[in-house]
Every structure is written in structure tokens, then in C-alpha cells.
Chains A and B, each alone.
Chain A
Amino acid sequence: MTSNHLFYKSMKEDLRHKVWMIVLSLLGSFLTMPILWLLEFGDGGFQAVSMLVEGSLDYTRVLSFYQEEMMTAAGLIAFFGAVIVGLESFRFLQQKSMVDTYHSLPISRSCLFGVKYVNGLLIWLVPYLLCLMITIVLSGILLARMGYASQIPLVLQEAAKTTAVLAVSFLLVYHLMLLAVMLTGNLLNTLVVAVVLGGGVISAYGLGIGFMSFYFHSFYTEWEGLPAAMYGSPGIAAVCLETARANEGFLTPVNNYPLMVLICLAVAWILGILAWRAYAGRASELAGRGTDQRWLTGFLRFFVSTLGGMAGWVFMDILRYGDAGSNVLSVLWCIFGAVLASVLCYGVMDVIFNLDFKSFFRHKWSMVFSVAASLLICFGFIWDLAGYDRYLPEREQIRELVIYSNGYSNNNGAAVLAEQTPSTDAEQIYAFLERGIENLYGRGHKPEDAVIAEMYGDECNTETFYVRVTLKNGRSYYREYPYYVWDQEVVLPLLCGEAYAQSNYEITEELLERCYLMNLYSSDSKEWQEAVEDVQVVREIAEGYNRDLREHPQAVILGEGRRLGKISLQLKGKGAASRLELILTDQMPYTLEAIEDNGMSWLCTLPFCAEETESITLEIDGSDYQYDRIAEGMDPAECIIRSHFGVYPAAASVQEEIREEATAWTTIRAEEAEDYRITITDREEIEELLPLLFPYIRMYRNGIYTKGNVKDITITDSYGLEWEACIPEGTLPEKYIRRFLEENR
């Protein structure tokens, strides 16, 4: 008998015993392709045609079926089909009687492997292709009836892409299961090995990321290790591959999808080759036993036990409200959780590998080593043994820095550090990083004015900056650091620097070309919406805006000056941003000039003036300040008024003994949180105050370096009209604070 002849005869014989799998595969493919198609487009296309007439359907809907619905449904069949087929194909290896029979047959191992492997593949592929053809025919008929017969090749193209992705996904899981079967002697061990090999790396990655975010104050990730972790976890990679195609970008850790498919294919083949090598060298006597791969069992025990210990630690820490870093009792609970989980994982793995409960403590010293390793890792995190938070490279080693803060950008897209322009001023960078690290460990630079403000109820908020530092040796690292308002001298040079402005505020040609709609908000609360028909108008405004950005960055970035209006540009197409917000202030001369030149000066004209103003009313809603923390002995009313307007007495004017006593804290009680109001009618005072006021226009993004605007100011003019206005924090003259106190006692 020739080997080819034997191969086909063996395939036929093998398939006879797998009819149930073929039937299941056929049923699964049938339900997830032709039946799903009919459910979607129903009644043989009549419903679709009526949808077409209504205008609710176009031919792309038919195409997207292959990318979305079919991809998801057939993807499930491919995934679970690969698991079942992978387990079943070489089931004979796990039973002594079967392995005796199959390995005594006059067929080489390579031939037997080929037969079982190809049959497993065909059991999924043939029913799939059969049902796919039916679905394509149905789609073709529908498209022809819709008058889109010329688009039928696109259907074939989409179907081919989906098939390619499903095939790679199937191979990933199929080869993973084969490898797990080859390394083990029974089903339980196979499943354990498959789970660990299929998802172990990404679990370790996730746990590591979790630990870092939990215990490192400066931890920030751009998920740069995620693709490698995904490729190292084939079971997860298969899911990512399918969902990424079905949902365009969802769970896609790399931007290049075709590259992702190719890498997954390579991983699948590596697993396949490993499975074959494992089978070629597999001892028949392994059947029915756990596994005899000592290196594998040793590694898995250590790996699972260490991860389990870490999980036990963090679980206990969460139960103890995450205070393990500061509480001895909590640390003890965490140690208990880590030791218990690590021992359990280790013992259970040993029981599984040896199929014997008495094996729980079989490798006592290795178990102790694993427990110690997991504890060491946990303490390494909690005590930051690696110096992660404290890490500051030498000044000379730093090449460039990229920063980003969610509070500072003129668009609504999520920025990533990779897209930011780097700064290279070593002095600025070093000072910025040094202050960030200091802020992690306390408020070393807190000025006295800030201490006074805190006594009156100021919360001393921080702004988080995400950074990527690139060293001269090419290595980069990511961190996030908090900065206080008083850290302006180290923050603003970078925040208002050219690099940050260019990345987050500049209106580029690419953004201009995507602009299709312009919303205009004037200072008197009027709103217009205009389609951008002439991009030249927008271009001129953008040029003025970009020039202001270069010359007056604090006006554009921090919103300094009186706000006069807002322009919102709607963007079409794919990209991080779908909207740009341009806040217009009186400190942006070039933008205002461009607006005026284009006949839109009304946009930036304030609706009120001193001559026509009858009164200005300032109000405070005291309930907003309930339970605010203030220094003990302070007057709650004064605290509310001062913290509302952000006006605090100078440090020098506050008596030394008061400052020294301000070590105990209290909160403003509900009955103390009253409403306050003053009305200014004096002409001189109106003329003094009015230049400070402007309409309330909120910036899309607000950071702590953007001066807050205090609302609830009403301007009444001589016609009886009322205008809502605001005043920048900290700018209300002291005499009005005192008037508030006098009039409301």
C-alpha cells in the first residue's frame, strides 16, 4: 500500500468515527451563515428591497454582513469548533487502550498526525465553505435584485477577508489545543495547560499592570506591551482577531490589522510545529497520566502559583479598602491572602498533574519557593523596591520629553503620547520631572499663600500630566505625575511651549480639510450654525488662531483674558478629533482681526457696557460649600465667600498665631452654608467691576492652570435687560468681600 493511498484510506476511516462532529460543524455553519443572512435580510430579499426603496438600505449593508454579523457568529463556531476538534482529534493519546491500538497499527506517526490534523481542519472548513457559498449566492441574488450586480465581486472580497481571518483564528486555537493534548495525558491536564498557554501571558500582563496601577503612584501605560502579551496568549489573540474585524478597532492592540493577522498566523504555525514535535517525541505511556514534562509542570506550577499569590494579595487589599501601603494590619491580611492563594494554586496544580490528592504537598520546597517569590513580588510593588516612582534619570541622559494632560486640548479626541511633539529643553524637562516626583511624596513646594487658601477651604487640586521620557540611549519610559497650581514655573514653560501647542491646539491643514460645519457662539448667548462652504474663511481664522497660539499661548491654552465668544468646528472622517473648540478672548488679536475681516465682529462684541448698566448683583449658593474642609476657628461665612471668589488674604496679613493654630480641621455644617448676595449700584463701582466681567463661556477642557470663572453675576441694564456674567477667580477686589460679610451678618 503506497503511503498516499494509506493516507486517504486512513482519513476516510477516521472520518467515519467523526460524523457527529461533521454534523455539528455543518449545523453551526448553517445557522451562522445562510440562516443568519435570511434573518437579517428576510423573505428572500423582499424586505431588503423594500428597505432599499425606503432608503434605509444600501448595498454596503449587505457587504457589512460579512464583516460584522457573520464574522461574530461564525467566529464563535470557529473558536469553539477548534477547541472541540483539537481535543477530539488526538483523544486516543489519552487512553491506554486507544494508544496501544493506534500506535501498534502499521502507520507512521507523521502519517497518523497528518491524517488526524487534516481531518480536524476539514471538519470545520468544508461545512464552512459550503455554507459560505450558499450565503454568497443569496447575497448575489439580493444585490442583483437591488440593481447592484456590479458589486458582487465586493461580496466575494469581503467573504474572502472574513474567511482568512476565521481560518487564522481557527488555526490559533486548533494548534493551541493540539499542543496542550500532546503535552498531557488526560483531559483535565489538557484543559489546564490550554488555559495557561492560551491566556497565561496576558493574565500575567494584566495582573502586572493592575499591580503597577495599584501600588505605583506614577504608573501610566500606553499599553505598549499589550500586542506582545496578546500574541503570547493565542486563545486571547484569536478572540481579539475576530472582534477586531467585527467591530473595527475594538480589542485591536495594533493599528495595522493585516500585520496583526500575519503575526497571528505565524504564532499559529509555531504552535502547530511545536504540537507536531511534541507528538513525534511523545511517549505512549503518558496516556491516562497527568504529564511527564517536568520542565512544563515545574514552570506551570511556579507560574500559576506566583500569579495566584499576587491575585490573593490584591484581592485581600481590595477587601481592606486598598490601604495595604499604609496599614500594618492590612499588610498582614494581604500576606495571608498571598500565601493562601499561592499554596492553593501550587498544590492544586500538583494534584492535577499527578491525579492524586496526596500530591498536594509533593514538592514542599518548590512550593515554599513559589510562595516566597509571590510575596517578594508583592512587597517589591508595595515598597517600590525597583524605585519605579522615584526614578529620575541623570539630566545628561534625557533626550526629550512628551507631556499630555486631559485638561489641555482644543479638541474632543483622546490623545496618545505617541502623537505628541516632544520638547527637548533639558533644564525644563528635568525641573518638571523632579517636581513631579517630589509631588508624589508630599507637597514640598507648597507656598504660604496656598496654605492660607487651604485654611479657607481651597481644595489644592492637582493636574495630572502623562509623560514619556526618551533617553539618549533610545529607551523610553512612561509616567504620570501630579502638579499643583503653585508648580506653574515648571509646568507652564512646557504646557504653553511650542511642542505642546503644536500637538494639541494648532489647526493643521488636515484638520481644515475635514471641517464641514462651523458653530458660532456669541457672547450674548446667540448661536449660529453654518456649513463650511468656503474653507477660506475658516482658514483665515485658523491662521490668526495659530499665530496667537505662537505669540500669545497663554490666551489660547489657558484662556487668559475676557472671553468673548466661541467657534466650534465640526470635523468629518476618521481621526482622534471630531470637533475643535476655539475660545475667543480679548488677548487673541490675530484671531479677532480675522473674524472682523470676515464680517463676524458681532461674534466678539460684549452685550453690556458701563454707561447702560444699572446694577450688578453677585450671588453665592451656600449649599455648594456644605462639608467643605476649613481650618478650625475660621468663620464659615468668610470661608464660603472667599473660596467662592478665590480671593484670600495675603499670607503676611494673616496673623502668625492663626496660621500656627491651623493644624486642626473642621467642615462647614449645613446650617452654616447660607446663601449670600450683594447688589452694586454705585456708578464708580460699576465702572470698576464691569471691565472684569464677561459672559460665561466654558472651555471644552479645563485644567487647574486655567483660571476658573465665578458665575452667578447678573448685570441689569437701563432697559431692564439682564445679562449673566462671570468674573475670573481671585480678581474680585477685597472691598466687595468685606461688603459681603457686612451685609450678610
Chain B
Amino acid sequence: MIEVTDLQKSFEEIKAIDHITARIEEGHVFGLVGTNGAGKSTFLRLLCGVLRADAGQVLVDGEPVYNRPAVKGKLFYISDDMFFFKTGTPRDMAKLYATYYPAFDRERFARLLGRFGLDMGRKVNTFSKGMKKQLAVICGICAGTKYLLCDETFDGLDPVMRQAVKALFARDLDDMKLSLHKVQCVVKNQAALEHMKKNLEVVTVDQRGMLYTFTVRGTREQVVEYMELLNPVFYELLPLSLEEIFISETEVNGYDIKSLIL
């Protein structure tokens, strides 16, 4: 569990983090939503111990993270501008992370690289931006840490690459039984609905008449199994749209995106 208490961080006159308190439970995908310059990256850099907080504290499993190797070993930070050795290859990156993360899974690393069509021996500086993002995500996933902190992972990716990276996350979450799914369904059996809420982690629920929209956590098979149990009039599993979440969350916070667009 990551606990953040009254966190503050300023860069000279600019207050980047202003009294943030948060609690991230284990096994959750926690999204940080905010406008440009809101301090999301700074928050992540504080979480992974790159920056030192001016005030407040960050506890990972009950221990402070800054300059604590044992705690930092539970985290892997994929920054928005991931560093790769100038003339290094994916193999060099694997060696780097394997040095510091004992659980780094080299076999999985090689397997995932192959699945994404990335060459283990090719210099990273010849990779496209999307390929570098894929490599960063693969490094993070293979590090075997308890927590994975991702900053702007999909920024600048074309739609195909975005889907590919999402699929990579999804597969990993799937492997960890932590996938998120958006389910739209029309149900009549309220009792079955309550049963599902008890057995699946329902992140959000939206009801419009008979039409329910759930965000649930679990493997695809688990979700399908429960939906079958629900015996709905109709149901559909939709891919989770981060953009949708972003827009709805900012609207809740009074950020009128429509006025900006229109």
C-alpha cells in the first residue's frame, strides 16, 4: 500500500504539489488525472523517491521511500522520457535493470520483445518513439516489482502503438488478475447484480434506467463467467478508455473541456 500524507513540493516559486493526501491499495490500478502542469509527474517522481518532498511523507508499505533502496526495490518508475543508453540495446537495458531488480525476468523480457517485434540487439537510438515506449513498458513489467509507476505512457503514440501498449498492460494485469473491464448490460435480476458486486471488484457503476455500466477488475474469463450468471438481457465487454475517464473526472472537478474544445 502506498500512503501519501499532506505532501508538498515546490520548484522555486512554483508550487507543484500542494497538500496531497492519498492512499493506494495493493492490487489497484490507480490513475492520476489532471490538467497539464497539475503536478502528476512530480507526484510520481516523489512516489518513486527521485524527488524529496518539501513537507509531508510518502510511505510504501509503511516505510518512507526517499533514499531507501529496500523500499525502492518495490517500485519501478517508467518516466515520460525514459532513459536509454546512447548506443545501448534492449539487452543493455535488461542488464541494467537485472543488476538492481533481483526479480527481473529476462526470459519474459525476451519473450515480450519478440512478441512486439523488437530486436534484442538493435540499438535503441534507432527505435521509433512508440518502440521506445514499448521497451520501457516491457522493462517495467519484467522488473517484477510490486508497484509500477507509469508517467504519460501513451503520450505521442499512434493509435496502433497505443493499443499495443495497452494490450501489453492488459495482458500483464490479466496475468496478475488485475484487469479492468468496462461492462455495459441490461439486467433484470437485482439479486444477481448484488452477487456480482460482492465477488468482483466493481470500480465504478453508472446506471441509466435499466442500462448499467460497470468498471470491474478481474480476468476476462471471470467477468464473462459472472455475466453469464447474471443472465442479462444484453451485455457487452468494452475496452477501457482512459480518455473517457480523464474527461469525466475533470468535468467532476469543474474543468469544462467542452468550452475549451468549442
Is A153 on the interface with B (CB-CB < 8 A)?
no
Q: Which residues in B have their C-beta under 8 angstroms from that of A98?
A: 83
Out of A13, A106, A109, name the residue touching B73 (CB < 8 Å). Answer: A106
Is B75 on the interface with A (CB-CB < 8 A)?
yes
Interface SS of B by simple majority: loop
Q: Which residues in B have their C-beta under 8 angstroms from that of A107?
A: 69, 72, 100
Number of A residues, CB within 8 Å of B? 28
Out of B70, B71, B79, name the residue touching A101 (CB < 8 Å). Answer: B79
Contact call B100/A103, Cβ cutoff below 8 A: no
Contact call A1/B67, Cβ cutoff below 8 A: no
Contact call A99/B99, Cβ cutoff below 8 A: no
The CA of A698 and the CA of B21, in the complex, are separated in Å by: 95
Which of B44-52, B172-180, B209-217, B236-244 sits within the interface?
B44-52
Contact call B100/A99, Cβ cutoff below 8 A: no
The CA of A17 and the CA of B89, in the complex, are separated in Å by: 12
Interface SS of A by simple majority: helix
Q: Which residues in B have their C-beta under 8 angstroms from that of A9?
A: 99
Q: Which residues in A have their C-beta under 8 angstroms from that of B88?
A: 17
Is B102 on the interface with A (CB-CB < 8 A)?
yes
The CA of A640 and the CA of B157, in the complex, are separated in Å by: 98
Instruction: Given the known inter-chain contacts A13-B95, A107-B69, please indicate yes or no for A285 contacting B100, CB distance below 8 A.
Output: no
Q: Which residues in A have their C-beta under 8 angstroms from that of B52?
A: 283-284
Contact call A100/B83, Cβ cutoff below 8 A: yes
Q: Which residue of B lies closest to A103 (CB)?
A: B50
Is A601 on the interface with B (CB-CB < 8 A)?
no
Q: Which residues in A have their C-beta under 8 angstroms from that of B11?
A: 285
Within 8 A of A (CB), among B202-242: none
Per-position 1/0 for A93-104, Cβ under 8 A of B: 001111111011
Is A735 on the interface with B (CB-CB < 8 A)?
no
The CA of A9 and the CA of B104, in the complex, are separated in Å by: 14
The CA of A109 and the CA of B96, in the complex, are separated in Å by: 17
The CA of A704 and the CA of B106, in the complex, are separated in Å by: 90
Contact call B83/A104, Cβ cutoff below 8 A: no
The CA of A106 and the CA of B81, in the complex, are separated in Å by: 19
Is A111 on the interface with B (CB-CB < 8 A)?
yes
The CA of A12 and the CA of B99, in the complex, are separated in Å by: 9
The CA of A283 and the CA of B68, in the complex, are separated in Å by: 16
Q: Which residues in A have their C-beta under 8 angstroms from that of B49?
A: 103-104
The CA of A111 and the CA of B73, in the complex, are separated in Å by: 15
Q: Which residues in B have their C-beta under 8 angstroms from that of A731?
A: none
Instruction: Given the known inter-chain contacts A106-B73, A108-B67, please indicate yes or no for A100 contacting B50, CB distance below 8 A.
Output: yes
Contact call A100/B99, Cβ cutoff below 8 A: no
Per-position 1/0 for B70-99, Cβ under 8 A of A: 111101110101110100100010011001
Is B43 on the interface with A (CB-CB < 8 A)?
no
Per-position 1/0 for A6-27, Cβ under 8 A of B: 1001101100110000000000
Out of B12, B50, B99, B102, name the residue touching A13 (CB < 8 Å). Answer: B99
Contact call B96/A97, Cβ cutoff below 8 A: no
Out of B68, B71, B79, B99, name the residue touching A97 (CB < 8 Å). Answer: B79
Contact call A97/B51, Cβ cutoff below 8 A: no
Q: Which residues in A have their C-beta under 8 angstroms from that of B82?
A: 97, 101
Q: Which residue of B lies closest to A20 (CB)?
A: B87
Contact call A106/B100, Cβ cutoff below 8 A: yes
Instruction: Given the known inter-chain contacts A104-B48, A283-B52, please indicate yes or no for A95 contacting B101, CB distance below 8 A.
Output: no
The CA of A96 and the CA of B95, in the complex, are separated in Å by: 21
Q: Give the distance to chain A from B64, nearest Cβ to Cβ, in Å.
A: 13
Per-position 1/0 for B41-62, Cβ under 8 A of A: 0000100111110000000000
Contact call A13/B81, Cβ cutoff below 8 A: no
Contact call B100/A105, Cβ cutoff below 8 A: yes
The CA of A660 and the CA of B164, in the complex, are separated in Å by: 108
Contact call B51/A283, Cβ cutoff below 8 A: yes
Instruction: Given the known inter-chain contacts A104-B77, A283-B52, please indicate yes or no for A97 contacting B102, CB distance below 8 A.
Output: no
The CA of A101 and the CA of B102, in the complex, are separated in Å by: 17
Per-position 1/0 for B169-199, Cβ under 8 A of A: 0000000000000000000000000000000
Q: Give the distance to chain B from A55, nearest Cβ to Cβ, in Å.
A: 56
Point out which of A10, A92, A101 has the most chain B C-beta atoms below 10 A from its C-beta: A101
Instruction: Given the known inter-chain contacts A96-B81, A100-B45, A285-B11, please indicate yes or no for A10 contacting B50, CB distance below 8 A.
Output: no
Within 8 A of B (CB), among A92-135: 92, 95-101, 103-109, 111
Q: Give the distance to chain B from A248, nearest Cβ to Cβ, in Å.
A: 45
The CA of A98 and the CA of B73, in the complex, are separated in Å by: 18
Q: Give the distance to chain A from B150, nearest Cβ to Cβ, in Å.
A: 12
Q: Give the distance to chain B from A207, nearest Cβ to Cβ, in Å.
A: 34
Q: Which residues in A have their C-beta under 8 angstroms from that of B85?
A: 17
Out of B70, B73, B79, B95, name the residue touching A100 (CB < 8 Å). Answer: B79
The CA of A103 and the CA of B44, in the complex, are separated in Å by: 13
Contact call A284/B45, Cβ cutoff below 8 A: yes
The CA of A101 and the CA of B88, in the complex, are separated in Å by: 15
Within 8 A of B (CB), among A29-84: none
The CA of A143 and the CA of B51, in the complex, are separated in Å by: 60
Q: Give the distance to chain B from A9, nearest Cβ to Cβ, in Å.
A: 5
Q: Which residues in B have their C-beta under 8 angstroms from that of A12?
A: 99
Q: Which residue of A lies closest to B151 (CB)?
A: A100
Contact call B72/A104, Cβ cutoff below 8 A: yes
Q: Give the distance to chain A from B1, nearest Cβ to Cβ, in Å.
A: 18
Q: Which residues in A have their C-beta under 8 angstroms from that of B95?
A: 13, 16
The CA of A285 and the CA of B68, in the complex, are separated in Å by: 18
Q: Which residues in A have their C-beta under 8 angstroms from that of B67?
A: 108-109
The CA of A103 and the CA of B49, in the complex, are separated in Å by: 7
Per-position 1/0 for B1-34, Cβ under 8 A of A: 0000000000110000000000000000000000
Out of B51, B69, B83, B96, name the residue touching A106 (CB < 8 Å). Answer: B69
| Cβ contacts A to B, 18 pairs, < 8 Å | A12-B99, A13-B95, A13-B96, A16-B92, A17-B92, A92-B83, A96-B81, A97-B79, A97-B82, A99-B50, A100-B50, A101-B83, A104-B49, A105-B100, A106-B72, A109-B67, A283-B52, A285-B11
Q: Known pairs A16-B92, A104-B49, A104-B72; list 19 more (Cβ under 8 Å).
A: A1-B102, A13-B96, A13-B99, A17-B88, A96-B81, A97-B81, A100-B77, A100-B83, A101-B79, A103-B50, A104-B76, A104-B79, A105-B72, A106-B71, A106-B72, A106-B100, A108-B67, A283-B52, A284-B45
A residues in contact (CB < 8 Å) with B? 1, 6, 9-10, 12-13, 16-17, 92, 95-101, 103-109, 111, 283-285, 292
The 8 closest A-B pairs by CB, nearest first: A106-B73, A97-B83, A106-B72, A104-B77, A101-B83, A13-B99, A100-B79, A106-B69
